[in-house]
Every structure is written in structure tokens, then in C-alpha cells.
Amino acid sequence: MMELKVIGQSADNTAESGCSASGCGGSSDQLSHLPDHIRDKVHNHPCYSEEAHHHFARMHVAVAPACNIQCHYCNRKYDCANESRPGVVSELLTPDQAVKKVMAVAANIPQMTVLGIAGPGDPLANPERTFDTFRQLTEKAPDIKLCVSTNGLSLPDQVDELCKHNIDHVTITINCVDPDVGAKIYPWIFWNNRRIKGRKGAKILIEQQQKGLKMLTDRGILVKVNSVMIPGVNDQHLEEVSKVVKEKGAFLHNVMPLIAEAEHGTFYGVMGQRGPTHDELQTLQDKCAGDMNMMRHCRQCRADAVGMLGEDRGDEFTMEKVEVMDVDYEQAMKKRADYQAEIEAKLEAQKSSANETFIPLTALTKQKKETRPVLMAVATSGGGVINQHFGHAKEFLIYEASMTDVRFIGHRKVDLYCSGGDTCGDAETTLQKTIRLLEGCETVLCSKIGYEPWEVLEESGIQPNGEHAMEPIEDAVAKVYAEMAESGQLEQQRQADQLQAGA
Amino acid sequence: MAYEIIESCVNCWACEPLCPSDAIFEARPHFKIDAKKCTECEGDHVDPQCVSICPIEGAILNPFSEPANPPGSLTGIPPERMEEVMAEIQSR
């Protein structure tokens, strides 16, 4: 067993991070178009509902190490403790250990609603381990929702078994529906006792994915589709993917940026394939949104992450610690039920009060001229208000303000993928990284900001703003937009050189 | 004659259930092949199963003690490119 320590973020700065109920539940709530029976299933699932991820927790258990395909963004050798990418874990668990761990976490984190198996290999390429874990959990913690993600290759063979368990959500990673594109993403698959390379392998994989997707939706199982956006490889193609998977009944499409650095040792990393810019990702997500419900708050977490989205409390629950924890299952389940009922009531109350105080943005801005949309970054530690010091922010929420509304676009995380420090040979300062992170944003709203970062931000074409501390995020974004419009800053396109400054 | 798993194995379990002769077993620091049991899959499969699913280049040696999956054969990364990039990272 690998004994690497999980480097989680400290709980204090991220426990409440993520966007606010108001920020996520308003015009930007991508679940609002779903039929009621689906909303009922996903409303307290932190990975599927932007609103839920602020209040409910999830965990992944790493019981599935084997994989039956190779993807160019994955390196099967990787187990770096400083990494927080998908597919990376520190401790492989047996099903019995996994169940013990889930029960311990669910007793200590009453927000816990969801258990997922996501790797580090393909859960359905490890059917005994995956289903043994699900079987035991259905029995011991029937209140916890079970999820599984897969590359889809063996999905059609596993649908019957999946249906036997209390699994109502499956995620399939579908990066293409065209084998020629697939040949540039998947070097090989293992199929019918042979390794099959190139286009031929990709074609089989695509057929299996599409077949599995259809089988699941026919049986009423919710399917989310994940796609990795790889510029120059499948970026032009993902709109088509979105259309196809929607036709087959997927309820949500999550387009994620490729993560590729040379030090990850992946094909894309080593060969210098770049990931998309924030702008490219958002543009594609917007294009796909015409066809489908898009997911915008995915944190791309590790295959052994524990806690609220965006945080990882894995180091509190290593097997060593879990073995000596004393857990009262009945009591813990009651505590979860009480806590979750309380949250539901609170959200319901917020929803009805939000409806009463709704002010259309056009009334606030009183604008006469055409003004362009603006991206703004917000530092918050939760509660739906601007309440975080710029220097303490571990992530920024990105909003787009326009003449008609304020829209939650997504989040950008500081040091998301590597916290390795000096050893990784990265000479860029944290401030420089943050500025690069905020590319495309014209303003950053925070509770306070130091003198030095203020100057550097301004020089980079990003206006810091600490005037709206403790104000609700959407109101503040609307006000700042109105001020910018008033001062005539928004009547023409942003200068090309200004745009470059943040790049 | 038999295949052999060496130290670059990452213990991913992929090969173990595929072996028609039950020759592969979990061991530390890495999985092993019982040379007495290994048949190279002759009579059962066209290709040796462990070699066909193993994701790690060089982790399995063929009966001539050569890597069954040589560098670059699985990831598609040319070995010289890999060396170049690793040297660059180390010099930072």
C-alpha cells in the first residue's frame, strides 16, 4: 500500500468556500430547466447542483486501480502527494477499508450526501471491488447516494449490475464521437483480450460509450457526461458531442479544461499540448449551453477527495486514523438526516425571500447606451457575500455582468493542481499566478487588499475593489457594472492590448 | 519460459484477474508472476494477457528479459522527447 500523505487544504480557508446560494441559484442555475423528478434527485448532490455544493459534501474512495484504456491526459504512474488532479490518489483501499472509511467520514461530516467511486482507474474495469463497496454501503448507510464514473468501455456489460444497487447517477467521460478525433486522445484500449491501438480502438470505445449511455437513460438512471476540452484536438468537436449525448438522454454536460504539465508525465504534458484559456473554455461552454444543461462549477477533484467541493479533508481520514475511530452508525445517520433537513429548510426560506427582493438589473443601471459585458472576480469565504481578503482567497468566483443580468460563470482556483512549492521548480510568485488566473477579468471584488498587490493588479489591467465588503455578491457586481457603465468605460470593445495584459 | 514483473509495476491489479493460469499474485513491493505457472498464455489467448493490459512500459519482461512493452509503445511519447523533457525539468 502506498503510504503517501494527502496534502489537503486546511479546512479553515475552504470549508465555506464556493459560490453563494444567491450566486448559484439565480439566473445561472443550470438545473432550473430540468424536470421535477430529476431535480429531486440532484438537488442535494454537491457535484450536480451549484447550490448544493455549498451545503453538502461528497467523498470518493479509491478502490478501483485497474484501467482498460489509456488516455493521453493520464499517467498511470502518478501518485504525487501535492497533486489534486482527477485520477491521483495516495492510498488504495480494499472494499472493506473503503466502507469503514465512508462510515467514519459520514459520522464526522453530517453534510455528507454522496459517495463516489472514480478511480484511480476505471471503476467498471474493477467490477468486483466497485460493486462489493456499493453492496455494503447500500446496507449500512442507505441514506447516502452512490455514484460511479467510467470511461464507458465496459459499461454495457455492467448496466444490469449497476441497476441492482442504489445508484442513480453515472458519469461517463466522453471526449469525442468521431474515431478520428478519438485516435488523437486514446492510444489504446484493452478489448476482447487484446490491446487495440489507434482509430480502431477509439471506434470501439465510442460505440460502447454511446450504447451504455442509451441503456442507462432507458432505465431511468441519470447520466452526466464529462468531456475534457483539448485545444486543437476536440475543441471544435465538443459542440457535436454535446448534441449527441443530449439526444441520448444525458441530463448534464460538464466540459472541463485539459490539465497538462510536462512534470505530470502524460502524453499531452510531455508533448507540449496546451490546455484551454479561461476564455476559450467559457466560450465553448456557452456554445454547448444552447444544446444542453451545462455544468460550470466542477472542481476536478482527486479520486480520493473528502469533504465539501473545493476542499479535501482526506488527511483527517487516513486508514490509520479510521481504524481507531469509534462510530455509532444509527446515531450518525440520524445526525445527517437532522442536519440535512435543517439545510433544506434554510434554502427553501432563502429562495422565497430572494423572490420577493428581486430587482431587475436594468432598473439599477439606468443605461441608455449599449454596453459590453464584463467579467469580475469575487473573493468570498461563503454566505453569498464579499467577505474575503484578496490575499487569503484560495479561489475566485467569476461573474459576468451585462446589460441584462449578472451570471455566475465558474470558479478559478489558486494553485489548483500543484502545491509542490520549490521542488517543482516553479519560480512564479503566488501574486503573478493569481494575476494569470484572473485573465479576462476587469475587476476583482474583495473585502480588503494590500497596497502592493493593488498596484500590481492595476498595472495588469485588473481594477481591485474593496468598497463592497460584506455586500451580497450579485448586488455588488451589478453596482460596479453600473458605475463602469456610468463612467463610459463600457461603450466600446476592450482594447486588445488591455486584454493581453492579463494573459 | 515465463514473463516477469519488475519494480516499475504500480500495483494496479489490471493483470491479475486476466491470467488464465493464475500465475500472477499480489506481492510487495510489486505484483509477481509465478514462473512455474506462467504459460505465456499459449493455448488460451493469442497475446499474453498481462502484457496486453499493463499500462506501464517496461514493467513486464518477456522470456528473453526484454521489456515486453518497450519505451514509447504505450504512451506514444518518443523516448528521446521524454528524456529531453525530464532533463529540462531537472535543470530548473
| Whole-prediction pTM | 0.78
All three cell numbers of B69, joined, read: 512493452
Q: For residue A358, what pLDDT is reported? A: 46
Domain count of the fold of chain A: 2
Q: Domain for residue A72, yes or no?
A: yes
What H or E segment, with its residue span, contains residue A497?
A: helix A496-501
Q: Does B84 touch chain A (CB under 8 A)?
A: no
Q: Which of B13, B55, B81 sits opposite A270 (nearest CB)?
A: B81
Return d(Cα A381, Cα A396) in angstroms, integer: 10
Residue A285 identity: Q
Q: Does B31 touch chain A (CB under 8 A)?
A: no
Q: Domain for residue A288, yes or no?
A: yes
Contacts of B79 in chain A (CB under 8 A): none
Chain A nearest CA to B66, separation (Å): 19
> CB pairs below 8 Å between A and B: how many?
70
Task: Assess whether A403 and A316 both reside in one domain.
Answer: no
Q: Domain for residue A348, yes or no?
A: no
Task: Assess whether A383 and A263 both reside in one domain.
Answer: no
Kindly report the CATH number assigned to the domain that includes residue B26. Answer: 3.30.70.20
All three cell numbers of A205, joined, read: 470505445
**Average pLDDT of chain A?**
81
Contacts of B75 in chain A (CB under 8 A): 70, 72, 75, 187, 266-267
DSSP-assigned letter for residue A394: S
Q: Does A351 touch chain B (CB under 8 A)?
A: no
Chain A nearest CA to B36, separation (Å): 22
Q: For residue A375, what pLDDT is reported? A: 94
Smallest CA-to-CA distance from A105 within A140, A66, A149, A64 is with: A140
Task: Assess whether A316 and A394 both reside in one domain.
Answer: no
- Phi and psi torsions of A497, nearest 5°: -70, -30
Instruction: List chain A pLDDT tens, one digit each, 503 residues.
Output: 333 333 333 333 333 333 333 333 333 445 666 677 777 777 777 766 666 666 788 888 889 999 999 999 998 876 555 554 555 566 789 999 999 999 999 888 888 888 988 878 999 999 999 999 999 999 998 889 899 999 999 999 999 999 888 787 899 999 999 999 999 999 999 999 999 999 999 999 999 999 999 999 999 899 999 999 999 999 999 999 999 999 999 988 999 999 898 988 999 999 999 999 988 998 999 888 875 677 776 666 666 677 666 667 878 888 888 888 888 888 888 888 888 888 888 877 766 665 544 444 554 444 456 788 899 999 988 767 898 999 888 889 899 898 888 888 888 887 644 444 444 545 567 788 888 889 899 999 999 999 989 999 999 999 999 999 999 888 999 999 999 998 888 876 665 444 444 43
Altogether, the residues listed in chain A come to a count of: 503
Q: Does B13 touch chain A (CB under 8 A)?
A: yes
Contacts of B11 in chain A (CB under 8 A): 65, 92
Q: Does B27 touch chain A (CB under 8 A)?
A: no
Contacts of A426 in chain B (CB under 8 A): 92
Place of cell 449490475: A161
Return d(Cα B50, Cα B37) in angstroms, integer: 14
All three cell numbers of A249, joined, read: 438522454
DSSP-assigned letter for residue A316: G
Domain housing A28? 20-323
Kindly report the CATH number assigned to the domain that includes residue A437. Answer: 3.30.420.130
Q: For residue A68, what pLDDT is reported? A: 96
Q: Give the chain B residue whose CA is nearest to the CA of A266.
A: B75
Q: For residue A312, what pLDDT is reported? A: 72
Q: Where are the beta strands (DSSP E) in A329-466?
A: 374-378, 395-401, 406-413, 441-445, 463-465
Q: Does A193 touch chain B (CB under 8 A)?
A: yes
Contacts of A273 in chain B (CB under 8 A): none
Q: Give the chain B residue whose CA is nearest to the CA of A120.
A: B12
Contacts of A75 in chain B (CB under 8 A): 75
Domain count of the fold of chain B: 1
Q: For residue A17, what pLDDT is reported? A: 30
For residue A68, the SS3 value is coil
Domain finish residue from A299, A323, A347: A323
Smallest CA-to-CA distance from B38 within B55, B57, B51 is with: B51
Task: Assess whether A281 and A391 both reside in one domain.
Answer: no
The residue among A326 and B3 whose pLDDT is bigger is: B3
Do A227 and A174 touch, CB atoms closer than 8 A? yes
Q: Domain for residue A4, yes or no?
A: no
Task: Assess whether A217 and A73 both reside in one domain.
Answer: yes
Kindly report the CATH number assigned to the domain that includes residue A239. Answer: 3.20.20.70
Chain B nearest CA to A401, separation (Å): 41
Angle between helices A127-140 and A155-164 (to 10 degrees): 20
Contacts of B88 in chain A (CB under 8 A): 262
Task: Assess whether A175 and A49 both reside in one domain.
Answer: yes
Do A196 and A202 touch, CB atoms closer than 8 A? no
Q: Does A195 touch chain B (CB under 8 A)?
A: yes
Do A226 and A152 touch, CB atoms closer than 8 A? no
CA angle A112, A219, A137 (to 5 degrees): 30
Q: Give the chain A residue whose CA is nearest to the CA of B16.
A: A66
All three cell numbers of A55, joined, read: 451545503
Best residue in B9, B10, B83, B90 for a mutation probing chain A (most A CBs within 10 Å)? B10
With CB atoms and an 8 Å threshold, state whether B14 touches A194: no
Smallest CA-to-CA distance from A63 within A303, A391, A385, A305 is with: A303
Asked whether this complex has an ipTM greater than 0.90, the answer is yes
Q: Domain for residue A135, yes or no?
A: yes
Return d(Cα A149, Cα A171) in angstroms, integer: 4
CB neighbour burial string for B1-25, b if at least 16 within 10 angstroms, e if fewer: ebbebeeebbbbbbbbebbebebbe
Interface of A with B in 368-427 (CB under 8 A): 425-427
Do A254 and A246 touch, CB atoms closer than 8 A? no
Q: What is the pLDDT of residues A57-90, one digit of tens each?
A: 888 888 999 999 999 999 887 655 555 455 556 6
Domain housing B91? 1-92
All three cell numbers of A10, joined, read: 486546511
From the number of C-beta atoms within 10 Å of its C-beta (0-12, 13-18, 19+), residue A54 rates as buried
Q: Which of A126, A187, A194 sits opposite B47 (nearest CB)?
A: A194
For residue A367, the SS3 value is coil
Q: Does B87 touch chain A (CB under 8 A)?
A: no
For residue A352, the SS3 value is helix
CA B58 to chain centre: 5
Residue A472 identity: P
Return d(Cα A282, Cα A112) in angstroms, integer: 30
With CB atoms and an 8 Å threshold, state whether B14 touches A270: no
Q: Domain for residue A341, yes or no?
A: no
Return d(Cα A113, Cα A300) in angstroms, integer: 18
Task: Assess whether A258 and A373 both reside in one domain.
Answer: no
Q: Does B26 touch chain A (CB under 8 A)?
A: no
CB neighbour burial string for A300-328, b if at least 16 within 10 angstroms, e if fewer: bbbbbbbbbbbbbbbbbbebeebeeeeee
Chain B nearest CA to A82, separation (Å): 17
Do A189 and B14 touch, CB atoms closer than 8 A? no
